[in-house]
Amino acid sequence: MTRMSRRARRRVFAGVGVAAVLVAAGACSSDSDSGSGSGSDDSAKVSGTVTVFAAASLQESFTALGKTFEKRYPGTKVTFNFGGSDSLAAGITGGAPADVFASASPKTMKTVTDAKDAAGTPSTFVRNRLEIAALPGNPDKISSLKDLTKSGLKVVLCAKTVPCGAAAQTALEASGLKLTPVSYEQDVKSALTKVELKEADAAVVYRTDVKAAGDKVEGVEFPESAKAVNDYPIVQLKNAENAAGAKAFIALVKSAEGQKVMSASGFLSP
Amino acid sequence: MPGGRRTRVPLPGGRRTGAPLPLLLPALVGLLFLLLPLLALLLRAPWRDLPDQLTSAQVWQALRLSLLSATAATAVSLVLGVPLAWLLARTEFPGRGLLRALVTLPLVLPPVVGGVALLLALGRNGVVGQWLDEWFGVTLPFTTTGVVLAEAFVAMPFLVISVEGTLRAADPRYEEAAATLGASRFTAFRRVTLPLIAPGVLAGAVLAWARALGEFGATITFAGNFPGRTQTMPLAVYLALQNDPAAAIALSLVLLAVSIAVLAGLRDRWLTAS
């Protein structure tokens, strides 16, 4: 019990650390958000630190977008807190100050909107699809979801409680397949890791994770994934210290340029 | 729990009853800091739904597996750890200090790192694991045996340290006397040393068992998470927290109760003995 509470606490602490930086940096910039409702492209108003809480699967693409943002608005800094959507949402509802929340599922976003911590309505900015991650060279000749049910094959899935597991479950149900994995992993990255280390033969993960893993795994698309597409909502938070920065960052993510970065990582447009 | 002692502040020997304020205040804050989270667990527990939560099949499955694997891990620790402790305490060889430090490494190593190390050593593709797979067709990750190994890896140092300390405190002249009477070194160990250090072994075993019961990081990394096979209580708590906090609190209460029972059981034999 102590171990996991320590883990959860560490995540919250990470958020608090980010918050401390934000408070220090935001003190001089928070006065700029008074008239931010009208002009969205007024770069003169965007300054200071923007704190973004984002799902772990967004790490690669958002890090790239953060650099673009800092270049476009000189003097700004984007600080990320990547983690499981659930724990991020828990951090936000628990009072961890952040400007933007980008979640991997509408369900986790709903925790934040239900707690009235969001400013405005969340909007879907990308969608993610599942893919099978097989060993390099696909030695087990996996070509469909059904192939995963072959006996002797070690398959890992995400736990049903996390978004990737829920999506996998939907896809399996849609195809009427019954799959017994060797493990229900606690998040998508650890499911992928088991294949990267060759401990498992295959995992059902997001397309973006397969892409990020490079040639350590081989991606196999399957048609049922179309029935289990995950929406990624993004929203500005009510307690945002840097509302102008939050607006500008969300605008960048949803812009044509931002969408190009997202699709290069394997995300689908909404 | 020693929670009821907060107000009385008894001192050993009972010479002075009033503790100086600069000591008393931080001490009370410290005590509160340690007990408050546990108290919160009790306060926020869904007592009304508790019977339903605790009689669910998955909870019993996880609890049973936890008790079983922790006991097996303790057995492994006893069989391997007591001789190891003896080696460290009773023999002289170059590099013994270093070896002793290495044995205690899992005490401070983050358990997740331990799990990764186990995967790289005993995994299907691991340094030793690939031969186990090739020669015997044995793969350890994702199995209950894997859980036991992960728990033993983290828990055994507790036993070794405890037994080694007891061995150092025990008088070696009893063994020497046994040797002069014709006993072999192993007989002396079995008939003289072992009974002599039994309390230390027992305390170490209980400590190792409790540590194994609470083990999370190495288990989920090395053995994965599958209900009934590798999902122990701590793993069940962690995953329940993702979507059903009430269930997580209920499961935590069970582990808390077991831990308190262990400490209560240790009180007479161990805490007061030392």
Question: pLDDT digit string (tens) for B121-154?
Answer: 999 989 999 999 889 988 899 999 999 999 999 9
Specify the DSSP element, H or E, that contains A120: strand A118-128
Residues in chain B within 8 Å Cβ distance of A200:
142
Cβ within 8 Å, pair A3-B234: yes
Whether the per-residue pLDDT at A37 is higher than 60: the answer is no
Residues in chain A within 8 Å Cβ distance of B38:
none
Closest partner CB to B226 (pick from A7, A183, A198): A183
The residue among B143, B144, B211, B239 with the most chain A CBs within 10 A of its CB, best to mutate, is B239
pLDDT class for B3, splitting at 50, 70, 90?
very low
Cβ within 8 Å, pair A3-B217: yes
Closest partner CB to B141 (pick from A86, A190, A199): A199
Chain A residues contacting B via beta carbons under 8 Å = 1-5, 7-8, 84, 86, 154, 156, 159, 161-162, 181-186, 190, 194, 197-200
Select from A86, A81, A46, A62 the least CA-distant residue to A187: A86
* pLDDT, chain B, mean: 87
Select from B58, B238, B27 the least CA-distant residue to A186: B238
pLDDT: which is higher, B254 or A222? A222
Closest partner CB to B111 (pick from A3, A154, A181): A3
pTM exceeds 0.90 for this model: no
Average pLDDT over residues B217-237: 92
Cβ within 8 Å, pair A1-B237: yes
Q: Which of A21-30, A118-127, B73-82, B211-220 has the lowest mean pLDDT?
A: A21-30
Closest partner CB to A4 (pick from B124, B216, B227): B216
Report which residue type is found at B168.
Answer: R
What interface predicted TM-score (ipTM) does this complex get? 0.75
Nearest 5°: phi and psi at B221? -75, -45
Cβ neighbours of B120 (radius 10 Å) = 15
The residue among A3, A9, A198 with the most chain B CBs within 10 A of its CB, best to mutate, is A3
In this structure, the strands spanning A100-102 and A49-55 are parallel
pLDDT class for B7, splitting at 50, 70, 90?
low
pLDDT class for A122, splitting at 50, 70, 90?
very high
pLDDT class for B259, splitting at 50, 70, 90?
confident
Rg (CA), chain B: 22
Strand partners, A231: A127
User: Which DSSP state fits A2?
Assistant: H
Q: Which of A58-72, A81-95, B105-119 has the lowest mean pLDDT?
A: A81-95
Cβ neighbours of A225 (radius 10 Å) = 22
- What are the DSSP calls for chain B, one per residue? -GGGGTTT---TT-S--PPPHHHHHHHHHHHHHHHHHHHHHHHT--TTTHHHHHTSHHHHHHHHHHHHHHHHHHHHHHHHHHHHHHHHHH---TTHHHHHHHHTHHHHS-HHHHHHHHHHHHSTTSTTHHHIIIII----TTSHHHHHHHHHHHHHHHHHHHHHHHHHHS-THHHHHHHHTT--HHHHIIIIIHHHHHHHHHHHHHHHHHHHHH--HHHHHHT---TTTT--HHHHHHHHHHH-HHHHHHHHHHHHHHHHHHHHHHIIIIITT-
Residue B77 in contact with residue B208, Cβ under 8 Å? yes
pLDDT class for B16, splitting at 50, 70, 90?
low
Rounded alpha-carbon distances, angstroms, from residue B262 to A78, B77, B142, B266: 48, 18, 28, 6
Instruction: Say what the pLDDT of residue B271 is.
Output: 52
Query: A70-108, pLDDT tens digit by residue?
Result: 999 999 999 999 987 887 888 898 888 899 999 988 988
Query: A145-182, pLDDT tens digit by residue?
Result: 999 999 889 999 998 878 889 899 999 999 999 999 99
Cβ within 8 Å, pair B142-A183: yes
Residues in chain A within 8 Å Cβ distance of B239:
159, 161, 184, 186
CA distance B215 to B234: 7
Closest partner CB to A1 (pick from B221, B225, B255): B255
Closest partner CB to A1 (pick from B231, B239, B252): B252
Residue of A nearest to B140 (CA): A199
pLDDT class for A34, splitting at 50, 70, 90?
very low
Cβ within 8 Å, pair A183-B225: yes
Residues in chain B within 8 Å Cβ distance of A86:
242-243
pLDDT class for B55, splitting at 50, 70, 90?
confident
Select from B237, B199, B205 the least CA-distant residue to B70: B205
Query: B165-214, pLDDT tens digit by residue?
Result: 999 998 888 888 988 898 888 898 899 999 999 989 998 999 899 999 99
Cβ within 8 Å, pair A199-B256: no
Residue B138 in contact with residue B132, Cβ under 8 Å? yes
Cβ neighbours of B233 (radius 10 Å) = 26
Whether the per-residue pLDDT at A205 is higher than 50: the answer is yes
Instruction: Say what the pLDDT of residue B8 is.
Output: 53
CA distance A114 to A233: 14
Cβ neighbours of B48 (radius 10 Å) = 8
